Structure 1
Amino acid sequence: MSTHAPVRPSYAAVLRLPHARRTFASALAARLSYGTVSLAALLSVTRATGSYAVSGAVLSLFGAATVFLSPFRASLIDRHGARRALLPMSVLYGALLCVLAALTWRPGAPPPAIAAAAALAGACAPPLGPTMRALWAELAPEPGMLARAYSLDGVAEELLYVSGPVLVGALLGFAPPASGILLSALLVVGGTCAFVASPVLPGARGAAPGTRRGTLFGLWAPVAVALGAGLALSGLDLLAMAFVTQRSYGTGVVPWVLGALSAGSAVGGLVNGAVRWRAPARVRLCGFAVALGLVIAAGGLAPGVWSLAGVMGLAGAFVAPTLTTAYLVVEETAPEGARTQAGAWVNTGVNAGSSAGAMVTGALIGRVPLGACFGLAGAVAVLPVVAAYRRRGVRVAGG
C-alpha cells in the first residue's frame, strides 16, 4: 500500500499526507488576502475620492486585471516553477498594494493614480488557488484522496471569503480603511514566503508548447460549466433583495437567505468529497451543474422568504460539488506541464461569469417578472452543460 493512497481516504488522511498541513495552512494564509482586499479597497478608495463611481471603476479594473490575466500568470508557474515565479509575483503584488494603500490613506488622492496602482496590482496577483490545487494533485494522486483534497480546499476557500470582510471590519475599529490593504499585502507576501518554503513544491513542469495548447483547448467544457455557474450565482444577491422587497420583508433577512447558500455550499462540498462516486467526473459535473440550475430556477416559485432560504441552501449544496468536480475534470485532462494554467482557466470562467452576471441581472430586474429572472439564472447554469457535453458525446446515464 502506498503512503499516498490510504485504504480509507478521509479528510484527516488528506491532512496527514507528508507536509500537507504546513503547506495548506501557508497557502490559506496567503489566499486570505483575496478575502480582505476587495472590501478594504472599496472603503479606502471611496474615502479617498469621495466617489462611489470612482471606487466602482477602480475595483472593476482591479478585478478585470486579476481575472483575465490569471491563466497567463499560472502558465509562468508551470514554466518556471512556483519558487521562481510565485514569490516574485507575490512581492510585486504586495508592493503595489502598499502603493495603493499609501495613495488612499488620506482623502484627496488623484483617481488616475489610484486606478493605475489598482490595475497594476491586479495584473500581478499570484494564482495561489490554482497553484495549491496543482500541488494537491501531486500530494494526493489517488482519485479518492484527491477528491477529498479538492473538496477541503474549496470549502476552506469559501470560508476565507466569508471571514475576510469580518477581519477588515474588526480592523476598521481602530485604523483607517487603507490599513486593510496593508493587511492584505502582509498576508499575501508572508503566506507565500511560507508556502514556497515547503519541501513538496515541485520545480518547473512546462510541457512542450504544442502539447499544452492542444490539450488546454480541450478543457473548454469544464470552463464553460464554471462560467455558467458564475453567471447564475452572481445575480442571486440582487434576486434575493428583489424577492424580499416585493414581498415587503425587511432587508435584514437577506443575509440569512444568502447565508443559507454559503452554508449549503460548505455542507455540499464536504459531503461530495466524502462520497466514493462510481460515475466518472465528467458525468458528475454534468449532473451537479444541471441540478444547480434547476434548483436556482425553482427559487422563483418560493412562496415566502424562508422557503426561498431553503431553496438557496439546496442550491448551495451543488455549488461546491460543481466547482470541485470541474477541477477534477481539468486534472484528468490537463497535461503534466500545464496543471496550474488549466485550473486557472476554471477560476477565470467562474470569476468572469460573476463579473457579468450581476450586471445582467440588475438590468433584467424590473423589466422581466422575478420568477422569469430566477428561471433565466438557472438556465445559464444548464445551457453550457448541454452545449459542452453534446459536443463531446457524453451521456449522463451511461458515462
Structure 2
Amino acid sequence: MPSSFRQIDPPQRLLMGPGPVNAHPRVLRAMSADLLGQFDPEFTAYMNEVMGLYRPIFGTENKWTFLIDGTARSAIEASLISLASPGDRVLVVNFGRFGLLLTEILARIGAEVRTVDAEWGKTVPMDEIAAAIADFEPKVVATVHGDTSTTMAQPLEGLGELCRQAGAYSYVDATATVGGMEIAADRWGVDIVTGGLQKCLGGPSGSAPITISDRAAEHIFARRHTELGIKRDDLEQGSGQRIGSNYFDLAMVMDYWSEKRLNHHTEATSMLYAARECACVSLEEGLAERFERHRLAGKAMTAGLRAMGLTVFGDDAHRMTNVTGVYIPETVEGERVRQRMRDDFEIEIGTSFGPLQGKIWRIGAMGYNAAKNKVLITLGALEAVLRTEGHSVPSGAAVDAALEAYTS
C-alpha cells in the first residue's frame, strides 16, 4: 500500500519548544466526541458554556467572550481589521517578531502605523508608550503580551486607562501566555484580548479564544452600520457590497455567538470541544495553581540551563514563565543539537527568528508539558547531546539545579 494511504502514526515526541506543545489527553479525547449540527440546542449550549468558561481565564466579565475558528492568528487579524480602518492611526508596541506581525497586518489594511520599540530581550516602559500615544494620537494601540520570539512579557498594568484617556481602543495578543500567566483584561482595562490553545492551554492549534469589551463591541457594530453603510438584513438578502473580510468580520461572528444565532459559518465542532476542555482542565486545576506551576517550571528550566554553564537570553525581570531563551554555545552547531534531541530523545526544542536566528534556542515548559519530570528529562537530554557534540558540561548539574529550584 502506498505510504500516503497508511494511517497517520506520528512519533511520540515531547514538544518542549515555544509551541505548539503536547495536548492534554482529556482534550484529545474531547475532540473524538460525536459531531452535532451547528444549531442543535445541545451544541449551542456548549457554545454558551465556552463563553462562560473563558471569562475567568481572560480575567473579565465581558459578555463578548467566545471563539474564532482558526489558529491564533485568525483572532489577531479579526481584531485588528475590525477595530481599525484604512487611514486610521495605530500604535504598535513592538519588542519582537510578533509585534512586527501586528504591524504587517495593519499595513495590509492601509492603516497608518507607528511603532514604539524595545531592543529584543527587553520590553517597552509604560512611560514611553504614554509619550508615543500623546504624540501620535492613535485610534488603536496594539501589543503582544508575551512574545515567544524574545521570551519577554510586556507589562500591561495601566495600558487600558492610557488608551481610554486618549480616546483609543486597545488590543492585546495573549496567544503565548493565556492559561500560563495571569491575563487581567478587566483590571488592565484593555478592549480586546485574543489567545490560542496550542501553548499554555494545552490544546491543538485551530481555535482562538477572544474577549471584547462593551466599548469595543459598540465600535465594531457601529462601524458595520455607518462606515460601511450596510445592514445585516441587506447581506442576508444578498444585496449591497461589503468592504474588507467576511470571515474575519467580528460583527458578523458576534451575531452568530449572540442569542440571534445568525449564521456566519459552520462552527468547527471538534475544535469547540477542544477549547471547552482546555478551559475545563485549566479551571479545575485552579488558575493561581496553574500560573504557579508554569512559574516553577520556568524557574527550574532557567536554573538548569545556567547550571550547565549556558547563558540565558533577555531581561530576567520581564521573562515569560513558559519559554526560556538560551544562547547556543559557540562550540556547537545549533541545528545539529536540535536534530539530535529529536533523533536520540524524541524531544523538540525551538530555534529562533530575525536577529536571534542561529543565536538562541527557545525551550518551553507550558500547558501539559509544564511538569517537573518533563523539565528534568529535557535538561538531561540536552546535557547528554551537548557532551556528545564536544561541549564540556558539568555532569548532572542541570538536573540537580532544577530539582533544587522546585524545592527552594
- Give the number of the structure with larger relative contact order, counting CA–CA contacts within 8 Å between residues 6 or more apart: 1
The structure whose residues are more often helix, as a share, is 1
Higher strand share: 2
TM-score (norm 1): 0.28
